[in-house]
A = this chain, B = another copy of it.
Amino acid sequence: MAARGEKIDLPVHLARRYLEPGPIVLLSSRRGEERNIMTLGWHTIMEFSPSLVGCMISSGNHSFQLIRDSGECVINLPTTALTDQVVGIGNTCGAAIDKFATFGLTAEPARRVAAPLVGECHAHFECRLFDDALVERYNFFIFEVVEARVRRSPRHPQTLHYTGDGVFVVAGKTISRRALFTPDKL
């Protein structure tokens, strides 16, 4: 059995469990020897199977070209334990610094993409570019989640949700209404 901090495989169609609530995520990317991390709050689930996630990646970000050229990234889910790293990553530029080194984060190998995982995060969604139809017009990338791993516990970690102006709201407390759902709506 996996220990508390150990990570286990997650079926890719369950990415929604972690991403649909709308948390701030860390996108990690790699192009050759270059690697980077950026914070992202503008994303949405688009489909269960294939497991699609749409992400707005402003072309002003250093990560944009790494992801555009490699067609890959990893969506990593930080918890509130990483609040200061999330803010630091969002307020610095990867052209000038190595964000893994600067913020004391561990680059771990992914399984199906060349981009590294951010080891300290709660969950990792390895992504390949699925459709770039709206990249030129909106910087909107549609990715397919091809591999997912997650800490076994807790099932609902405390996550950060950005409101602008330096303020995050925290989610984590749960409300279940499972008994009121029709099976096809769960």
| Residues on A facing B (Cβ under 8 Å) | 14, 16-18, 20-23, 41-47, 52, 54, 56, 80, 83-84, 87-88, 90-91, 131, 133-134, 137-138, 140, 142, 156, 159-182, 185-186
Which residues from B are CB-within-8-Å of A172? 169-170
Which residues from B are CB-within-8-Å of A45? 41-42, 56
Write 27 A-B pairs (CB below 8 A) sorted by A numbering: A17-B163, A20-B41, A20-B161, A20-B163, A22-B23, A42-B44, A42-B45, A44-B44, A45-B56, A46-B138, A52-B138, A54-B140, A84-B177, A87-B180, A91-B185, A133-B133, A133-B137, A156-B169, A163-B174, A166-B178, A166-B181, A167-B174, A169-B172, A169-B175, A170-B171, A170-B173, A170-B174
CB atoms of A20 and B20 under 8 A apart: no
Which residues from B are CB-within-8-Å of A162? 20-21
| Known contacts A133-B134, A159-B169, A167-B175; 6 further A-B pairs (Cβ under 8 A) | A17-B165, A20-B163, A156-B167, A160-B175, A169-B175, A170-B171
